Amino acid sequence: MRYTSPLLHRTGAVEAAGPDAGVSAHYGNPVKEQRALAAGTAVTDLSHRAVVTVTGPDRLSWLSTLSSQQVADLKPGDSSELLLLDISGRIEHAPAISDDGETAWLITEPSHGPALVQWLESMKFMLRVEITDRTDQYAVLGSTAPLPEDLPAAAPARWSDPWPAVAPGGESYAAIPDAEHPGQEWNWHLTILERERYDAALVDLEAQGWTLAGVQAAEALRLAAWRPRLATEVDAKAIPHELDLIRTAVHLTKGCYKGQETVARVHNLGHPPRRLVFLHLDGSEHTLPEPGSDVLAPKEGTDPEALLKERPVGVVTSVARHHEAGPIALALVKRKVDPQAQLVVRDAESGLYAAAQELIVRPDAGQSVGRPQGDFLRGRPPTGNFVE
C-alpha cells in the first residue's frame, strides 16, 4: 500500500519522488528550508521510514553475530549502524540502531522494512529475541540538532548518526585526514515518535520555533557530507569498502559473520572495484541530471557527439542543489578512473553536465597487509573477483 504523509497536506508541500515518495520534497521554499535545517532550527518529515524493534536478553549479542558491527556492548542511548551482508559481502541491509536498555530500535529505508524483519526472523534459531515491525505505530523525524527531551510522543530511543567518526574496529578509506572531512559538519539525528501523536508533536515543535524542511534539504546536506545512503548509493553489487562504510559500520576484528571473508580479503589483500566520489556539477544549467545517469571520463578534446557514444566509467547515485555549493552529486566510479580526470555526466533526457570530481574513497584503499605470494593464493577464493 502506498504511503502518504499527513504533512503533504501542508500549504506548499510538493511530494518527493524515488525512495522518498510519500513525504514532502519541500514546502515551497527549498533554499530557505535548507538553510534552516543546516542551522538546526528545522525538522524533516521521514515518516515513511521503517521502524523495527528487537527485544529479548540476547538481542544485542545476536545482532553482533549477524552483522558487520560490534553492538553487543551498546549502552542505552548510544547509536551505531550495522550492515547485513550476503555470502559474497554485498550489502543487503544497513539499519541505524539505538538501544534503550530493553529494546533495540532499528530504522531503515521504507522498502527494506518487511525484508529486514523477514531476514531477522529467518536467523532467530533458539535465541531469546523477538522481532517486530513497528512502522505502523512509529514515525521518524530528522534534524541536525537534537529535539527537546520532553517532546510528547517520543520513543525511548533516539539515533545520532556516527558519521564520519571512525568507530572502534573501523578504518577510514578517505583520501583526506579526518579533521578535514566535510562530514565533520554533519550532525544528523533521528527521533522516533508515536505515529498517532505525530501531528501533535509537530505542532508542539512549531510552537517552540521549529520549522519544516523537506527531504530535498536533508539530501543536499547529506551529499555535502559525503554520507552514503542505503536507498541510493547501495546497488546489487555494493560492498562496504566502496562507500567508506568501513569507518562507521564495520568492525574489522570482530567474530565471524556472513560476508566477513570478502570484507577481510578486500581490506587486507585487494582493493574495492569501485569508489564513491563527490561531484561538483556545472551550475550553468537550470536542470539536474537524474540518479542513474552515466559518468564518463572522456579524453581531452572529445566532441559532444562522441560523448553520446562514450562508454561509462560509473553511475550517478544521488543529486542535489546545495544552498552554498550549488549542484552536487555522489557517484560510484571504477577504481582506476584517474582522480585528476575531468568527468562528464550524461543524462538520457537533459544532456551533458561537466563534473569535477572530489575523492571520497581513495583509489589505493585496501590491501592493508600487502599481497601474499605462493601457495596461499593458488586456490580460487569464492570472493576473488573483488581482489585486483
**CATH for 115:** 3.30.1360.120
Separation CA 298–CA 279 (nearest Å): 16
Q: Which three cell numbers stand for residue 244?
A: 567508506
Is 378 a residue whose pLDDT tops 70?
Answer: no
Please indicate, yes or no, whether residues 307 and 202 belong to a single structural domain of this protein.
no
Asked whether residue 183 falls in the same domain as residue 282, the answer is no
pLDDT recorded at residue 385? 47
What rounded mean pLDDT belongs to the chain? 93
**Over residues 14-33, mean pLDDT:** 98
In a domain, residue 266? The reply is no
Q: 134 and 25, same structural domain? A: yes
DSSP string computed for 266-297: HHHH---SEEEEEEEE-TTSSS-PPTT-EEE-
Q: What is the largest CA-CA distance in the chain?
A: 69
Residue 199 grid coordinates? 501531528
Global pTM value: 0.93
Residues 219 and 315 in one domain: no
Do 291 and 228 lie in one domain? The reply is no
Kindly state whether residues 207 and 282 are assigned to the same domain.
no
User: What residues contact residue 233 under an 8 Å CB cut-off, 6+ apart?
Assistant: 243, 276, 317, 318, 330, 332
Q: How many domains does the chain have?
A: 2
- List Cβ neighbours of 64 (8 Å cut-off, separation of 6 or more): 70, 71, 72, 254, 255
Residue ranges in the chain assigned as alpha helix (H): 30-39, 59-66, 113-122, 198-207, 215-224, 230-233, 246-249, 260-269, 304-307
Residues 184 and 229 both lie in one domain: yes
- In this structure, are 180 and 328 located in the same domain? no
The confidence score (pLDDT) of residue 387 equals: 53
Final residue before a domain boundary, out of 240, 256, 283: 240
Domain-embedded: residue 345: yes
The SS3 call for residue 13 is coil
CATH number at residue 327: 2.40.30.110
Distance of alpha carbon 155 from the chain centroid? 23
Is there a contact between 166 and 178 (Cβ–Cβ < 8 Å)?
yes
Interior CA angle at 163 toward 162 and 165, to 5°?
Answer: 80
pLDDT band at 117 (very low <50, low <70, confident <90, very high): very high
> In terms of domains, do 195 and 317 share one?
no
User: Under DSSP, is residue 35 helix (H, G, I), strand (E, B) or coil?
Assistant: helix
Residues 6 or more apart from 260 whose CB is under 8 A from it? Answer: 68, 85, 89
d(CA 334, CA 96): 28
* For residue 388, pLDDT beyond 80: no
pLDDT band per the 50, 70, 90 thresholds, residue 340: very high
The answer to whether position 340 is within a domain reads yes
Which of 240, 264, 289 terminates a domain? The answer is 240
Please check whether residues 236 and 289 belong to one and the same domain: no
pLDDT for 384 beyond 80? no
How confident is the model over 237-265, as pLDDT tens digits? 999 999 999 999 999 999 899 999 999 99
Average pLDDT over residues 63-86: 97
Would you tell me how many other CB atoms lie within 10 Å of the CB of residue 340?
Answer: 7
Q: Is the dihedral of CA 143, 229, 14, 134 positive or negative?
A: negative
Helices 30-39 and 215-224, axial angle in degrees (round to 10): 60
Residue listed under C-alpha cell 554533519: 186
User: Is residue 3 within 8 Å of residue 110, measured between CB atoms?
Assistant: yes
Helix (H, G, I), strand (E, B) or coil at 371: coil
Q: How confident is the model at residue 133 (pLDDT cuts 50, 70, 90)?
A: very high
Residue among 275, 246, 266 at smallest CA distance from 371: 266
Q: Looking at residues 66-78, what average pLDDT do you find? A: 96
Task: Say whether both 332 and 221 belong to one domain.
Answer: no
Residue range 118-140: average pLDDT? 95
Beta-bridged to residue 328, according to DSSP, are 280, 320
% of the chain beyond a pLDDT of 90 = 85
Give me the domain span that covers residue 301: 273-359
Alpha helices in 9-103, H assignment, sequence order: 30-39, 59-66
Q: Is residue 374 part of a domain?
A: no
Res 371 pLDDT > 80: no
Residue 313 CB partners (closer than 8 Å, separation 6+): 295, 296, 297, 333, 334, 337, 343
pLDDT (mean) for 28-33: 97
For residues 231 and 109, the answer to whether their CB atoms sit within 8 Å is yes
Give pLDDT, residue 243.
Answer: 98
- 272-315 pLDDT, tens digit each: 999 999 999 998 878 999 999 999 999 887 887 788 788 999 99
Q: pLDDT of 93-104, one tens digit each?
A: 999 999 999 999
Whether pLDDT at 220 is above 70: yes
Q: Which one has a higher pLDDT value, 158 or 372?
A: 158
Q: Is residue 122 part of a domain?
A: yes
Residue 253 lies in a domain: no
Whether 63 and 123 share a structural domain: yes
Q: Residue 67 domain-assigned?
A: yes
Identify whether 381 is part of a domain: no
